[in-house]
Amino acid sequence: MCGDFPHPRAEGGAGDPSGEDEYPLDTPVVRAFVAGVRAAIARAAEPAEAIALIRPDFAALLRDDDWLPARYQADAPESGMGGGIGQWLLFRSGARDLCLFALVVPPGAATPIHDHLAWGLIGLYRGEQEETVFARRDEAAPLGAREELTPALRRTVRRGDFYPLLPPVEDIHRVRTTSAVTSVSIHLLANDTGCVWRHAYDLETAAVRPFRSGYVNRPCPAEGAAAD
């Protein structure tokens, strides 16, 4: 039975003028995974239940050495995230309510402290990361222009490890590659993560700024075309 939370649709939607799903990585593996995700969401009454249903297929994706081509694991020197960090879009729905992407973080580089504003799953496909999760002083209060964050959790993430996102719980984090090789994490999130305006946080000044990470291989609205 479907719940009341937003459900990614099979096709169509107002988010994209064409109303069509995009598969920058159009392979049987990706299409089968997305179909399974949508079937799980259709059965779930809430995001936590959907995540539980998706977990086995997501774990299998992280174990599969062959489905993600090398070009989607490459550093992105021109990325707006800096440090060679890049997001490679693999799939997004026409309604912009579901996406799958690879986040590439070179050795020693770290993402800004950021939020996601969507439920989903994040798992490590290559390398090793240190993830630091931050808590706001009052998680229930409206987000302000300043937020004093406190480190709440620090953990090592290795190949095959993954964790859920269920905002506002543990939605603000930073990841840093601790391996000698570039880390690649796979994200399945219930929005168009690279193109929605999110928040980046400065731990020292408590400042909050608008943040849009973008994709290496697909443009966001009002941006120029990007190369595949």
C-beta of residue 39 within 8 angstroms of C-beta of residue 130: no
The DSSP line for 152-185 is: EEEEEEETT-EEEEBTTBT-EEEEEE-SSS-EEE
Task: Spell out, as residue ranges, where the chain has pLDDT lower than 50.
Answer: 1-4, 7-17, 224-227
Q: What is the pTM of this model?
A: 0.90
**What pLDDT does residue 83 have?**
84
What is the SS3 assignment for 207? Answer: strand
Helices in the chain by DSSP H: which ranges? 28-43, 47-63
**What pLDDT does residue 228 have?**
53
17 is written with which tokens? 């003028």
The tens digit of pLDDT for each residue in 44-90 reads 999 999 999 999 999 999 999 999 999 999 998 877 677 899 999 99
**What pLDDT does residue 80 have?**
67
Domains assigned to the chain: 28-211 (2.60.120.10)
What b/e readout covers 167-177, taking b as 16+ CB neighbours within 10 angstroms?
A: beebbbbbbbb
d(CA 4, CA 44): 9
Strand partners, 153: 133
